Amino acid sequence: MASTQLPLETLSTWAMFNDVDLVDVEAREIPGCGLGLLSNKELSREEETFDIPTLLRIPGELVLSAEAVENYAKVDKNFRQLLEVAGHKSATAAKIVALTDEFDELRDISATLPFWNELFWESDKVSLIDWVRVDAWFRSRCLELPKSGEAMVPVLDLANHSSKANAYYEENGKDEVVLLLRPGCRVTSGDEMTISYGDAKSGAEMLFSYGFIDPASAADRITLPLIPMEDDPLGKAKLHVFEGAPTVEFVRTNGSLSWKSPFAYFLCLNEEDGLSFRVLQDTGGSRELKLFWQEEDVTATTTAFEQHINEHPLAQIFRLRVVSVLEDLVASQLERLATGMSLEDLDESLNEGGLVCGTCIGAAATLREQETSLLEAAVKALEDQKTQLLADENVVAYLGSMEDAQNDLVHDELSNEDEDFS
């Protein structure tokens, strides 16, 4: 689908017709940053004051949010039909599902709706690249509004990110989105007005969504996927009933590393531990897969196995399993990073073909360095936890009993071999 890019000079006209008030800012080209918002006068704000300089004001009806989509679907029958058959996909789901699969699904379903089939498919106006472009627009321009949640806000999305932002956005009582000067900030005419895209995003998320990494604000965290072991007969059932994401997140704060993974505790439990699945029939005749732990129905609390195991006599053994699984996972991820193609070779090969710019390869190098450092710290932390667990008296006793049982088994086998049945 062909798209036209309008010159920056037309923004003021568009803003006037759409009641967007650029109070004390204007959009300009910024060397090395593309477009941005610059202050056009000297402004200041004390730490504690009710006089808050408003820099930009956008009417609520221009904000593209989930609520706006729902409201539009109420008045447009064709759009409502498309929304119902295509369904709602969260940002997280969109990251997991391949864009090609999403596009194919959208095409197959919307082709059955006369209005959208004529608009999109009969004339071949829409292609996969359009879907990719829309996805990129959303990810790179989406903001988290205090009331409306994830939304796209015109003009405000021109504001660039800074770890030392001098402005922030808010929703006022008129449902307008406003850009305000931060407390304690002073700007002069020509200074760029910047916002924070969030200090909780990892380097990978910053790079994926915005195309750059800010080392000063990117959170020192990494999320890795967890999959059931191939020989786990309950693996598929675990994935089916688990309420959250089957992942583990490692976070480093002030040099101290921690991890969180509700799924890991669920993953490492087996039938012999007291975990079981049952297909039960409700009063309406429907059949449902239920999860039981120690004969108690825990289907609604699959993310709470860290707490469920607390009273079990083998709780420390279960924790040792979890730490061991995570240690193997991190080690394999580090190996992948170490054995992958060097960025120097990648830079040379891609630059020769003009496929990827040096800036992108530099960002990838920064991400690799960040993740390698974090994973190495994770290995050390997991090793320390494993050492502590192996020294636990319950773990020592359990492993000792397992060793005795194994020795008895070997002894019995040797005794049977020595029997003379002649």
Count how many residues are written for the chain. 422
pLDDT for the residue numbered 145: 86
Q: Is the pLDDT of residue 236 over 70?
A: yes
**Alpha carbon distance 279, 288 (integer Å):** 5
Tell me the per-residue pLDDT of 45-84, one tens digit each, with 9 for 90 and over: 876 556 677 899 999 889 887 777 777 777 777 767 666 6
Read off the tokens for 49.
Answer: 């004051």
Structural domains present in the chain? 8-62+153-197 (2.170.270.10), 64-141 (no CATH), 221-391 (3.90.1420)
The tokens describing 300, both together, are 């609604």
Answer for the pair 247, 230: CB distance below 8 angstroms, yes or no: no
Amino acid at 373: S
pLDDT tens, residue by residue, 343-392: 565 555 555 555 555 666 777 778 888 889 999 999 999 999 999 999 99
**pLDDT at position 135:** 79
Q: Are strands 296-297 and 287-293 parallel, antiparallel or unpaired?
A: antiparallel
Confidence (pLDDT) at 357: 59
Query: Residue 136, SS3?
Result: helix
Q: Specify which residues 171 forms β-bridges with.
A: 177
Contact 246, 226 (CB under 8 A): yes
CA distance 49 to 184: 10
- Residues above pLDDT 70, as percent of the chain: 81
Of 316, 214, 340, the C-alpha closest to 265 is 316
**pLDDT (0 to 100) of residue 49:** 58
Lowest mean pLDDT among 10-14, 22-26, 231-235, 345-349: 345-349
Assessment of whether the complete model's pTM goes beyond 0.75? no
pLDDT band at residue 88, thresholds of 50, 70 and 90?
very low
Report which of residues 315 and 109 the model is more confident about. Answer: 315
Kindly report, residue by residue over 90-102, the tens digit of the pLDDT: 433 434 456 777 7
Cβ atoms < 10 Å from Cβ of 245: 16
Own/partner pairs, 320-323, CB within 8 angstroms, 24+ separation: 320/386, 320/389, 320/390, 320/395, 321/268, 322/261, 322/264, 322/265, 322/267, 322/268, 323/382, 323/385, 323/386, 323/389
pLDDT tier at 234 (50, 70, 90 boundaries)?
very high
Q: How far is 153 from 64, CA to CA, in rounded Å?
A: 7
Alpha-carbon torsion (315, 321, 322, 327), positive or negative? positive
Q: Would you tell me how many other CB atoms lie within 10 Å of the CB of residue 177?
A: 27
pLDDT over 60 (residue 289): yes
Q: Phi/psi of residue 23, each to 5°?
A: -65, -60
pLDDT at 321: 97
CB 138 within 8 A of CB 152: yes
Please, which pLDDT band fits residue 337 given cuts at 50, 70 and 90? confident
pLDDT at 258: 95
Position 31 confidence tier, pLDDT thresholds 50, 70, 90: confident
User: Does the structure show a pLDDT above 60 at 208?
Assistant: yes
| Parallel/antiparallel/unpaired status of strands 149-152 and 142-145 | antiparallel
Mean per-residue pLDDT of the chain:
82
- pLDDT surpasses 80 at 165: yes
| Residue 389: per-residue pLDDT | 96
**pLDDT attached to residue 413:** 55
Which is nearest to 7 in space by CA: 31, 29, 33, 37?
29
What are φ and ψ of residue 27, in 5° steps? -85, 135
pLDDT (tens digit per residue) in 247-267? 999 999 888 999 999 999 999
Considering only residues 92 and 139, tell me which one the structure prediction assigns the higher pLDDT. Answer: 139
Range among 177-181, 278-282, 297-301, 358-362 with highest mean pLDDT value: 297-301
Query: Is the pLDDT higher at 285 or at 399?
Result: 399
pLDDT of residue 96: 40
Do 291 and 304 form a contact (C-beta atoms < 8 A)?
no
Judge contact between 56 and 25, C-beta under 8 A. yes
- Put the strands of the sheet holding 167-171 in their side by side order: 54-58, 177-181, 167-171
